[in-house]
Amino acid sequence: MKYDLSNRLVIGIASSALFDLTACDAVFREQGEDAYRAYQEAHVDDVLDKGVAFPFVRRLLSLNDLAEPLDPLVEVIILSRNDPDTGLRVMRSVTAHDLHVSRAVFRQGRSTHLFMPALNMSLFLSANGSDVREAVADGMPAGHVLKTERVDDDADQELRIAFDFDGVLAGDSSERIYRTAGIDEFRAHEVLNATTPHDPGPLKEFLSGINRIQRREEEERRADPTYQPRLRVSLVTARDAPAHERAVRSLKQWGLRVNDAFFLGGIDKASVMRALDPHIFFDDQVSHLNGTAPATPSVHVPFGVANTPPRTPSRRRPRPDSAVPSP
């Protein structure tokens, strides 16, 4: 019987985001592929430690208790550049950690993100920045998971997700205006276009899938008033009034919602994140994430103008026939 992914929230995750592969990567970099393969085979039964995205994935999968076992709300699929042999350790670690992940794609040394549309994925997470940039360049919704010092509280069953707006949930058209014309022109443009929704950004469909689960939680609470929703979504953006209105209206016109919104107007996001304590935060700007990542699991979405290197003027040598002749 065909297994249909079309109505599920499907996440693709590299083993580097799900587990701590520091030791494995060191063997590969320092000794090469053959030594790496031998190392993985020798340690196939050694359970890999949890990676940065592990708490997010565990909590997301736990929401499947709202559905029938054979019809889950969430599907997480491993996307890996490992070959199937070296991928055995990853799958055994998945089982050892009691994660309900049964599907995987292993492609020895080759990109996996091209299979995202076929698998209905609305997000791909990896700790390999170049893999993520390649995926985003091909139009896929992907994020680079950054290192963090945060230690997860296993007793906390709530899943808190935080998003930046421009370049993450929305496109980067307004960000381009800000960068070329300044803050006053940006605000004037947003006020003038307050009722015009933004173009969707790379993670708009991911939020849509999260909202579907939140609606299922609302159904559960109506049926059982003692049920406490576990999924909470926050918008954390450098926008402030009056530019905030277009962001709120865009979400509404897309049929999406967030539980909390922080319009910070340049206030450091790191201090807000420490208080909010999300299990994952998505932003398109490395300058913000450098502050949040130590205490908050943070994901860089390398999309749009914020991630386009500035052009450097070319220094053209003068043509010989353009030289000024000697007197």
280-283 and 298-300 as β-strands: parallel, antiparallel, unpaired?
Answer: parallel
Q: In what order do the strands lie in the sheet with 159-163?
A: 103-106, 74-80, 9-13, 121-126, 142-145, 298-300, 280-283, 159-163, 231-237, 260-263
Q: DSSP for 277-314?
A: --SEEEES-HHHHHHHTTTS-EEE---SGGGSPPPPPP
Closest listed residue to residue 306, CA positions, set 136, 162, 184, 191: 136
| Direct distance between the N- and C-terminal alpha carbons of the chain, in angstroms, rounded to an integer | 89
Q: Are 207 and 232 in contact (CB under 8 A)?
A: no
3-state secondary structure of 117: helix
Q: H-helix or E-strand containing 17?
A: helix 15-18
The gap from C-alpha 260 to its chain's centroid, in whole angstroms, comes to: 19
Residues in the chain: 327
Looking at the DSSP bridge assignments, the partners of residue 235 are 163, 261
Token pair 């969430």 in the structure block, residue: 74
Active site residues: 164
Which 3 state secondary structure label does DSSP give 158?
Answer: coil
Please tell me the distance from the alpha carbon of residue 255 to that of residue 2, in angstroms, as a whole number.
Answer: 30
288: nearest Cα among 139, 193, 175, 134: 175
